[in-house]
Amino acid sequence: MTVPVRSLRFADAREAADLAAFLGRLLHYDRAAAVRLQAGGGALAVFGRPPSFEVLAIRTVRLAGTHDFDVTVSAGELLEALDTGGADEDAAGVGALPAPVTGPPWTGVLPPRGGWQERTGLPGPVDLRTALADAVAEFRSRDAALPEDRRTRTERDLIGRDIWSRTVGSTELPLRAVHAAQSLGFLRPQEGFPVALLTTGSWMRLRTPYGSIALRGTGGGLGNLAVTVGTA
């Protein structure tokens, strides 16, 4: 694949810094992470998949100027190429895009471009964070209660799957999507912080001002998906 743009610039230093933070969190869960980049107009959508959560994470940043490209690159190489600009916001940008990579299967499976509708029943951010704290406490309690001969990765995974597959509020959104949002810096303890649940077809998306978490169905994660090209 030929990358149709060799470099790009962000609208300001904060946009570059926010993207750097997002990439750093993805790499915490997968040091070999890839990200799919889709640029259209003055926006860049960055898609990643933290393996611990079985969801797609989407971060959108503003660009300076108009761009139009679609490429999959190494998250680590992109992070290394980022220039957050320091005190000089005009200097913020990416010197060069990394070479394209052959992406994992999920990079060909993105949420649809349009048709999203907001759904009711999602608790507010304070209640979501409380539910997460309760879930973490339950996991630790159940893990500590395991007898020594059952203290294995398999047993712990079973406990985790039981807890994180539970739905939140009166929605079908699994708690693991909320966990992913908090772990990636999308869910923040701010007064008046807006969160929303949107759906289209069998896709669900937890949207916050800092990014979105998308997944398909309530139990299948990203498995058995048809290939769909789109943007967040």
Terminal Cα distance for the chain, rounded: 22
pLDDT tens for each residue of 30-75: 999 999 999 998 999 999 999 989 999 999 999 988 889 999 999 9
What is the rounded distance in angstroms from the CA atom of residue 63 to the CA atom of residue 99?
20
Q: Closest by alpha carbon to 76, among 53, 52, 39, 101?
A: 101
What is the rounded distance in angstroms from the CA atom of residue 168 to the CA atom of residue 176?
10
Question: What φ, ψ does residue 159 adopt, rounded to 5°?
Answer: -65, -45
Instruction: Decide if 116 contacts 205 (C-beta within 8 A).
Output: yes
What is the rounded distance in angstroms from the CA atom of residue 212 to the CA atom of residue 22?
12
Question: What φ, ψ does residue 161 adopt, rounded to 5°?
Answer: -65, -35
pLDDT tens for each residue of 186-201: 998 776 789 999 999 9
pLDDT of residue 2: 46
Q: Which of residues 83 and 30 earns the better pLDDT score?
A: 30
Q: Closest by alpha carbon to 187, among 200, 198, 177?
A: 177
- Give the domains, in start order, of the chain with CATH numbers: 13-108 (3.10.150), 117-216 (no CATH)
Where is average pLDDT lowest: 29-33, 82-86, 120-124, 152-156? 82-86
Quick one: average pLDDT of 126-139?
94
Place of tokens 């960055």: 46
Give exposure, 92-121, as e/b (b: 16+ Cβ within 10 Å): bbbeebbeebebbebbebbbeeeebeebee
Residue 135 pLDDT exceeds 50: yes
What is the rounded distance in angstroms from the CA atom of residue 225 to the CA atom of residue 56?
13
Residue 231 pLDDT exceeds 50: no
- Single pTM value for the model: 0.86
What is the rounded distance in angstroms from the CA atom of residue 90 to the CA atom of residue 150?
56
What is the rounded distance in angstroms from the CA atom of residue 111 to the CA atom of residue 46?
12
